């Protein structure tokens, strides 16, 4: 088998040759941030936007960015040279390896940079055509969910709620309002109008969420950004999930009850078509490869 080439602190090397110190603050404290970029036929989808969000996450945790956006894009391209086809690129930057465990943020430490590829597994045709099941749970995470932090215990435990129910995702409710799902954003549709929760600190501002709002504008789909009450989620005609790996996916049962007709709705089908068209143009080089 050929080696799975990954990036570690400026070098490309086989994944199984990478060794990280147990004192790394990513290991000890989950003190780091990450990105996941989908790549279609070698072209990253909104790569620059992912690195702009990485910058915002790094700023929030007071960690200097080891690379500019152009440098990051070049590093991703070098890694992708070893991984043809559709891929998901995982990028993680942690605060590095201090001499001892101490909560205080150390100064002048070199961050640890790690990148790897995994084959991109987008939703199956069956999932796109029939939709998926979701359950709800209280959003028990912290209040800085806009940071794409590697400290994902809250998200992992939230996801486990749906794993145990045999469902695809857990939609989270905080103070009576929808925030997001354990690893995706959430949209609802009522009477033909799409609603997305506000872009605040209680959700991760998804690059796919952002793309969906743009495609809605260009495709003449009515979309508003506003708080979504739990009752509005439960009364929605359609519910969608979005993420870099799920793309846009219809939710057809919520807590065991059908959503709308129980089939992916017409507004979802329109948005899914717009998304697939965007991808096709990207791979054909007719969209800015950003
Ligand atoms: N997750 N909200 C959360 C909590 C997420 O973890 C993600 C993505 C999203 C969607 O963001 P984007 O559209 O930029 O992928 C929303 C990634 C895919 C992950 O952790 O694997």
* Per-residue model confidence as pLDDT tens digits over 59-72: 999 999 999 999 99
pLDDT at 234: 98
State mean pLDDT over 73-89: 98
Helix count and strand count (H, E) for the chain: 8, 15
Mutation to probe ligand 1, out of 162, 200, 206 (largest number of atoms < 8 A from CB): 206
Please report the sign of the dihedral spanned by the C-alpha atoms of residue 170, residue 238, residue 122, residue 72.
negative
Global pTM reads: 0.96
pLDDT at 285: 80
Topology (CATH level 3) of domain 125-282: D-amino Acid Aminotransferase; Chain A, domain 2 (3.20.10)
Residue 288 has pLDDT above 60, yes or no: no
Residue 83 has pLDDT above 60, yes or no: yes
148 assigned to active site: yes
CA distance 97 to 99: 7
**Torsion over CA of 170, 173, 174 and 179, rounded to 10 degrees?**
70
Residue ranges with strand state E in the chain:
5-8, 11-14, 32-40, 43-44, 87-94, 112-119, 132-138, 169-174, 177-181, 185-190, 193-196, 223-225, 238-243, 247-254, 257-258
Q: Which of 100, 144, 148, 246 is catalytic?
A: 148
How far, in Å, is the centroid of ligand 1 from the Cα of 192?
25
Burial (CB < 10 A; 0-12, 13-18, 19+), residue 114, is buried
State mean pLDDT over 13-17: 98
Q: What are phi and psi of 93, to 5 degrees?
A: -125, 120
pLDDT at 192: 98
CA distance 209 to 199: 10
- Structure confidence by residue, pLDDT tens digits, 180-217: 999 999 999 999 999 999 999 999 999 999 999 999 99
For the Cβ of 243 lying below 6 angstroms from any atom of ligand 1, the answer is yes
Taking the domains of the chain in order of start, what are their residue ranges? Answer: 5-119, 125-282
Residue nearest (by alpha carbon) to ligand 1 atom 12: 206
**What is the gyration radius of the CA atoms in the chain, in angstroms?**
19
For the Cβ of 185 lying below 6 angstroms from any atom of ligand 1, the answer is yes
How far, in Å, is the centroid of ligand 1 from the Cα of 186?
11
pLDDT at 283: 82
For the Cβ of 57 lying below 6 angstroms from any atom of ligand 1, the answer is no
**Cα dist. 258→36, 234, 261 in Å?**
31, 10, 7
Mutation to probe ligand 1, out of 183, 197, 240 (largest number of atoms < 8 A from CB): 183
Atom of ligand 1 nearest to the CA of 148: 6
How far, in Å, is the centroid of ligand 1 from the Cα of 241?
10
- Structure confidence by residue, pLDDT tens digits, 132-177: 999 999 999 999 999 999 999 999 999 999 999 999 999 999 999 9
Residue nearest (by alpha carbon) to ligand 1 atom 19: 183
Atom of ligand 1 nearest to the CA of 207: 14
Burial (CB < 10 A; 0-12, 13-18, 19+), residue 127, is middle
Residue 289 has pLDDT above 70, yes or no: no
pLDDT at 286: 63
State mean pLDDT over 121-134: 97
Mutation to probe ligand 1, out of 33, 34, 36, 52 (largest number of atoms < 8 A from CB): 36
**Share above pLDDT 70 across residues of the chain, in percent, rounded to a whole number:** 98
For the Cβ of 244 lying below 6 angstroms from any atom of ligand 1, the answer is yes
At 290, the pLDDT band (50, 70, 90 cuts) reads: very low
How far, in Å, is the centroid of ligand 1 from the Cα of 1?
31
CA distance 89 to 27: 20
Helix (H) / strand (E) containing 155: helix 153-164
For the Cβ of 170 lying below 6 angstroms from any atom of ligand 1, the answer is no
Say how far residue 96 (Cα) sits from the centre of its chain: 24
Topology (CATH level 3) of domain 5-119: D-amino Acid Aminotransferase; Chain A, domain 1 (3.30.470)
């Amino acid at each position: 088998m050929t080696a799975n080439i990954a990036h570690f602190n400026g070098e490309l090397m086989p994944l199984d040759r990478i060794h990280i110190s147990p004192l790394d603050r990513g290991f000890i404290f989950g003190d780091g941030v990450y990105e996941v970029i989908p790549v279609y036929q070698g072209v990253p989808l909104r790569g620059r936007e992912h690195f702009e969000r990485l910058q915002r996450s790094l700023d929030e945790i007071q960690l200097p960015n080891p690379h500019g956006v152009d440098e990051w894009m070049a590093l991703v391209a070098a890694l992708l040279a070893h991984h043809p086809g559709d891929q998901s690129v995982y990028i993680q930057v942690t605060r590095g390896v201090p001499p001892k465990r101490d909560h205080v943020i150390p100064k002048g430490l070199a961050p640890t940079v790690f990148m790897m590829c995994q084959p991109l597994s987008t939703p199956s045709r069956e999932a796109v055509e029939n939709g998926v099941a979701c359950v709800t749970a209280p959003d028990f995470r912290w209040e800085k969910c806009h940071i794409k932090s590697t400290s994902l215990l809250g998200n992992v435990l939230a996801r486990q709620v749906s794993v145990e129910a045999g469902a695809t995702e857990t939609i989270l409710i905080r103070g009576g309002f929808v925030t997001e799902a354990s690893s995706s954003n959430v949209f609802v549709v009522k009477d033909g109008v799409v609603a997305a929760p506000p872009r605040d600190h209680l959700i991760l501002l998804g690059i796919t969420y952002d793309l969906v709002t743009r495609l809605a504008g260009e495709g003449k789909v009515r979309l508003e950004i506003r708080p979504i009450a739990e009752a509005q989620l439960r009364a929605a005609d359609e519910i969608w999930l979005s993420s870099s790996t799920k793309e846009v996916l219809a939710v057809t049962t919520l807590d065991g009850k059908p959503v709308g007709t129980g089939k992916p709705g017409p507004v979802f089908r329109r948005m899914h078509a717009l998304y697939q068209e965007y991808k096709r143009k990207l791979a054909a080089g007719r969209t800015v490869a950003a």
